[in-house]
Amino acid sequence: MTDLTPDLTAFANVSSFLPVKPKVPERTSLEERRRFRTIWISDIHLGTKGCNADLLIDFLDHTDSDTMYLVGDIIDGWRLKKKFYWPAEHNDIVWRILKRAHRGTRIVYIPGNHDEMVRPFSGMNFGGVEIARAAFHDTADGRRLMVLHGDEFDTVMLAHRWLAFVGDALYHAMMKLNGWVASVRKLLGLPYWSISKAAKHKVKNAVEFISKYESVVARAAGERGVDGVVCGHIHTAEMRDFKHGEGEVAYYNDGDWVEGCTALVEHFDGTMEILHWPDEIAKREAEKAAQAALAMQAA
């Protein structure tokens, strides 16, 4: 354990993760939540100002599942080593995840590159949370999916690790701008919108990188004889099929909770769906407004 200590020094102040009660109380009972067979979320980046904690807390308070996969970059160790940042809302997220494990939800945590300091604990169980380097998931309709963070297939991470750190610094500068834009839009009563996500989809090189990454990950899954793959890492939610030999391999990316605020879910019949949570909140608020209007008319 002593050789792990330097990597974990940034987390000394997180030793009291769980308060008796969260700062943000749970908003719904279990009976009121949308139930899924499986939920995948990744790239939360706890420990950074870019983490959309409020949206993720709302997601956790309105959904439930038999199994939840945390597909890497849950905690941002890179940033915490530079400057410690851990607001109460980040504690609330950890509290909610551990509470799910306590009541019987299977939680599988697959560390990514930003929380790589957790990888040496693979095979262990902490508070009901299984730590794994990768996992395999069998869907309700009989398909076998490989689940991993995906940095293993990022050529920048593999060949030029220093460049990945430079890119991380630039990315967090963009996240500050993203936060300012989100705050202004909230004051104006406008829905959440990510300037960084919009820019990424407009830049040709980013689009080409994402497309190549998806193809490489899907091919690797096909070579391992599985029906599909679930990953994160590139902060771009996606569902698509790739040709492999005479068949197809399903590629799923659950997105992130910094830019897109998305989750991948499996329904009880095996159907897969990406939930864009800002849109889900907008739908919920519209339904409440419609019901209130009907109630006023009836009165």
Q: How confident is the model at residue 78 (pLDDT cuts 50, 70, 90)?
A: confident
Could you give the CA distance from residue 272 to residue 181 in angstroms, rounded to a whole number? 32
Take residue 16 and report the two structure tokens written for it: 């009291």
Could you give the CA distance from residue 295 to residue 291 in angstroms, rounded to a whole number? 6
The pLDDT tens digits of the residues spanning 234-289 come to 999 999 999 998 899 999 999 999 989 999 999 999 999 999 999 999 999 999 89
Phi, psi of 81, deg, nearest 5: -70, -30
Integer CA distances (angstroms), 112 to 15, 64, 184, in order: 21, 23, 32
274 and 264 Cβ atoms separated by less than 8 Å: yes
Quick one: pLDDT at residue 240?
A: 96
- 15 pLDDT above the threshold of 70: no
Quick one: pLDDT at residue 295?
A: 85
The pLDDT tens digits of the residues spanning 80-100 come to 988 899 999 999 999 999 999
The pLDDT tens digits of the residues spanning 37-56 come to 999 999 999 999 999 999 99
Q: How confident is the model at residue 184 (pLDDT cuts 50, 70, 90)?
A: low
Take residue 245 and report the two structure tokens written for it: 């030999």
Integer CA distances (angstroms), 222 to 67, 143, 211, 226, 266, in order: 24, 13, 17, 6, 21
- 108 pLDDT above the threshold of 60: yes
Could you give the CA distance from residue 213 to residue 268 in angstroms, rounded to a whole number? 29
Average pLDDT score, the chain: 84
